[in-house]
A and B are shown apart, each in its own frame.
Chain A
């Protein structure tokens, strides 16, 4: 099997962290997302820097609040059999697939599904290869997951 990452939204971790914080802040999601400079104050909010984003995402993983990880899409070109794709579809309702060739597929899902697959006891074989690409699309999530698995 071969998995190639072909698309994901830029700053998708910052989007998810802003969406998470927007549930608990008087400030809306975009204002939080754009709060990157200490020069401009946003009352009661820490600057949305890497440390802040990592902290919020780590918290969402600790609490199991995976819904905030749905605000994105990640797409791969995948060489796989129908059986492998079927087992992937069976693992989550949030997959979209297009068959390109007999054993070639465009596969799309979101960060939530990848986190759930990374933590699944018996994940479908293809999912390990999809999860491995997290280091590119969502490096903070990938390192937090790696640390959790080791501990």
Chain B
């Protein structure tokens, strides 16, 4: 009904709905000549970053489908992936087998953390996002407790290259030299100086297919019903709480895999800070692709990762070119990441608020009509 009314101004609506991606295209266009990178370098960087980050961003889709908003708790999955990687490095399992092993080890940790997060979020219906945000910070404390104090003292760590000189706790940086870009290099092809990590993209494609398939399963339909209206879904016999927990667990497991793919590309990671901003950046990237808090597609993820990383590559150089200070560009891209999330959250909440007051207004109108009729 509403769509018919607005079909006349569809172009305006189109622009409005895609205001964030359009804004980003503009930012990138301004920065592009200022940064002065060669197209080959730019393309190479972009392809590398797409392979590195898309999997992580796809982890956000399922909770959105279940109406739980942006899952800031994906950081939990990232932590699980890191713990798995630390163990695998210590056991000296190298190459692709090491990556596969780390992924499998991350599953139980992710499930455990996901169950914890999902259960808490069920107690905070209506404010899942802020709760998941702080759960990720809380778990960061627990992660530090485990990695900084329990590893090496209670959890056996054999290699002193991994341990702090004091004998327990993991060093600031964990080297993944033995697995570095193993996934990316297998089956990689080189097109005009641009290295394309085919296997990584294949894995991402498989995840996309799984997500598309999952939407059509009974569970996927249940999730969408829960997102529409929890009470209606409950009346229809869906176990709402369980469905929501499953959504978070799935997201956490995927995030764990994503983190391992991300880190094998980088080749080493800062033990205590690699995961802290993963949630923010992934969410910002997804939103840049035109997603909103209640709706996100695979296309949004791909568009988002392209535009967001274009900005990430260009901003520091462009900032230096304009102001002569290299820090400006870095602050700028941080500001833009936070800003995009802020804008998306504001649009979401104000739409919700407006819809609420509109229904209130309609109800009041109906009531008045009824009263008039009664007279």
Instruction: Answer whether A and B are interacting partners.
Output: no
